[in-house]
Chain A
């Protein structure tokens, strides 16, 4: 059974850093794309980043240069390193085996909450 489970969400001060983890089971992160999608307190959804099987990465303009997606195949885990955090980065962060095409079934985690506040 395919599952993704997020962890690492926390309260952090503006300018701080945080690393989110997405533990995958039922598939290999080296063979499939994995995305991070966030939902702000106002419920707006934003596709933050995706890493493809071949290693290609894409980022939303709002996080480019501050966030980095990566994967550890030995732990079958995808990470989102978030630096220079801003108040507007406050959101629930979902990990998903999903992409924009809809060509394959998607799988979403329950999300992890990141709060950026002083």
Chain B
């Protein structure tokens, strides 16, 4: 089970933001990798992956997004929130089938 907090995150433009994701079991796979991904979804759009394997930004993702963590506890940080960041952020574990998502964190501008 993937649990995110907070569920709702009002943020000020230009300020940092942080989202936590906790897994009920270690996400370290037998190959030594930790398959923890972060997605962002804008209204009316499919999810877009931002981060894979804990801390690797996907192509085209701004460097204000960073991921960290290990084992069961992970964090997505946004160094300076921009207007285009509104939407819902999801963590997702791809280490063990069935792959599962967190319940989402809705980011909105104050």
Query: Which A residues are closer than 8 A to B by beta carbons?
Result: 37, 43-47, 58, 60-61, 94, 96, 98-103, 105-106, 108-111
Q: CA of A43 to CA of B95 in the docked complex: distance in angstroms? A: 22
- By a CB distance below 8 angstroms, the chain A residues around B52 are 101-103
The answer to whether B93 has its CB under 8 Å from any CB of chain A is yes
Contact A46 B35 (CB under 8 A): no
Number of A-B residue pairs at CB separation under 8 A = 61
For chain B, the bracket of interface size reads: 20 to 34
Chain B interface, >50% SS class: loop
Q: CA of A46 to CA of B98 in the docked complex: distance in angstroms? A: 9
The 9 closest A-B pairs by CB, nearest first: A100-B94, A102-B52, A108-B46, A45-B101, A100-B99, A47-B99, A60-B98, A102-B37, A94-B46
User: For residues 56 through 86 of chain B, which have their beta carbon under 8 Å from a beta carbon of chain A?
Assistant: 56, 58-59
- By a CB distance below 8 angstroms, the chain B residues around A98 are 49
Contact A110 B92 (CB under 8 A): no
Contact A45 B47 (CB under 8 A): yes
- By a CB distance below 8 angstroms, the chain B residues around A45 are 39, 47, 90, 92, 101, 104
Query: Which B residues are closer than 8 A to A by beta carbons?
Result: 33, 35, 37, 39, 45-49, 52-53, 56, 58-59, 88, 90, 92-95, 97-101, 103-104
Q: A94-B46, A103-B52 are in contact. Are A44 and B98 (CB under 8 A)?
A: no
Q: How far is the CB of A63 from chain B (nearest CB, A)?
A: 10
